[in-house]
Structure 1
């Protein structure tokens, strides 16, 4: 028998805008596959309303927490009672969970981003380098995640000071900065032998997303054999991924990260692992 609607375990995703979010579809799919009573919704919350939102939700019966998307991943932090060490290191929160300690902020973006790279990271390389396009909340998670696996980082942002600020947060690896414009212009740089190297180009900006201008990027900056990873998932096949694949590069699309980070959040909200054996069916549903 289903629980009364008032006490159903409930989570949601907040942001502004939020209509485009696929998170309710993902979490709803998993709840149904597990036969669990629960709700997952999306709620538009403007920046000036964050305090009132959390004041209302923190003691609401059945509320398990929320995912947080742009532009609130840093703005929510003052309204929480504790920040998980991973989220504190990244400086951004994408998952808020109700606990006996109060509201705890987590970041599942880093784990979700790394998930489709696990097979590569299990291999040994002489050198690893990542070119990260963007310096916002998602870029912070990506940069810290890759730094933890020994990558030298090149961080590019619209304004060089944005890239410098993120680079200053990264400890233990070499970091370099550039502007996005640098990667828009062709280069005649001659790449050396990349055997036993792992090169990744990651777009963490909204450029290339439906309704946004394309990402200006010249593939002369991409080493032979590099992997192209675009965290944008609408459209699934961005211009960056399409050109990369046409040039013979392996591509990773934004659904991999979206599903991976959602699985971490699902476990935190509902206390059970997401049924990942149904990933192929879920991807088909998300791209229908």
Structure 2
């Protein structure tokens, strides 16, 4: 995979967050750029604070950037700065994609798309319409997950240590999303999604047989939560599959082309220093 020539008409994209040094997005997008032979580059941006992020978006509005992905802690700010937002971004109240076109800022969110794609790939027998699903956490990742799962027909239960924050999230997302506490929250759930940045205080061995367990983090790819779930005989879905899934719409929004057909998982596992697990995504 050779590196294409960068010329004076190169398109500049990137990812903005703080911290962002461990992001795999530059690895993904630059692999696609190289495979497609685009005159483009995708780089990391680390605004120090909200004012710095405002400056970055202003640069995009001024024509200096084609678009950016956005990660913590700027997703809600990205949504607020947009001139137009997709239905998906409005549903989650945040954006992980900003595209800059003719002085306008266009916001979208592909986190939910990535989550659903990961479920289709690694838990193909999961049936969401009408089913109880549990989301652990009430932050930005949980908001995107809950919005996507509710949109797919799931009856979403938010479980969070701070009930007030969970209730605020549920109020924003509508009647398909509720707040539950204690062991009853997990009863009958077909899916449990960890949207926390830490391992949850849940024993997967106590979940119903057939429950699918997903962790939205990917360092390591097989998190302790997923390891325990697999030991309990449950189907697991990892955050790396979600990361790859959400990247496709981002690439198209930023560079105006579909991503080329590149098998990314082995490349990303090698970058993480983890063995190739044979999963295709």
TM-score (norm 1): 0.84
2:25 corresponds to: 23
1:8 aligns with 2:22: no
SS at 2:263's partner residue?
helix
The more displaced of 21-30 and 44-53 is 44-53
1:200 aligns with 2:203: no
1:52 corresponds to: 55
The more displaced of 245-254 and 97-106 is 97-106
1:90 aligns with 2:92: yes
* Superimposed CA distance per residue, residues 208-261 of structure 1 (whole angstroms, 9 cap, x where no aligned partner): xxxxxx432233652211111001011111110000001001111111110110
For the Cα contact (< 8 Å) 1:154–1:175, is it kept in 2?
yes
2:272 corresponds to: 287
For the Cα contact (< 8 Å) 1:81–1:101, is it kept in 2?
no
SS at 2:196's partner residue?
coil
Count of residues in Structure 1 that have an aligned counterpart in Structure 2? 268
SS at 1:74's partner residue?
helix
Q: Please report how far the alpha carbon of residue 173 of structure 1 lies from its aligned counterpart in structure 2 after TM superposition.
A: 2.3
TM-score (norm 2): 0.86
Whole-angstrom CA distance in 2 between matches of 1:18 and 1:76: 16
Q: Please report how far the alpha carbon of residue 126 of structure 1 lies from its aligned counterpart in structure 2 after TM superposition.
A: 8.0
Whole-angstrom CA distance in 2 between matches of 1:174 and 1:280: 32
Whole-angstrom CA distance in 1 between matches of 2:186 and 2:17: 43
Structure 2's unaligned 5+ residue stretches are 274-281
Match 2:222 to one of 229, 237, 254: 237
Whole-angstrom CA distance in 2 between matches of 1:234 and 1:28: 21
Distance 1:250 1:84, change over 3 A: same
SS at 2:76's partner residue?
coil
Q: Please report how far the alpha carbon of residue 127 of structure 1 lies from its aligned counterpart in structure 2 after TM superposition.
A: 4.6
Match 1:149 to one of 149, 152, 159: 152
Give the aligned CA root-mean-square deviation in angstroms: 2.5
For the Cα contact (< 8 Å) 2:156–2:178, is it kept in 1?
yes
Whole-angstrom CA distance in 2 between matches of 1:125 and 1:231: 18
**Structure 1 segments (4+ residues) deviating >6 Å:** none
SS at 1:205's partner residue?
coil
Q: Please report how far the alpha carbon of residue 277 of structure 1 lies from its aligned counterpart in structure 2 after TM superposition.
A: 4.4
Whole-angstrom CA distance in 1 between matches of 2:259 and 2:93: 26
The more displaced of 121-130 and 149-158 is 121-130
Structure 1's unaligned 5+ residue stretches are 208-213
For the Cα contact (< 8 Å) 1:121–1:149, is it kept in 2?
no
Whole-angstrom CA distance in 2 between matches of 1:126 and 1:29: 36
For the Cα contact (< 8 Å) 1:147–1:172, is it kept in 2?
no
For the Cα contact (< 8 Å) 2:91–2:173, is it kept in 1?
no
1:65 aligns with 2:95: no
For the Cα contact (< 8 Å) 1:29–1:282, is it kept in 2?
no
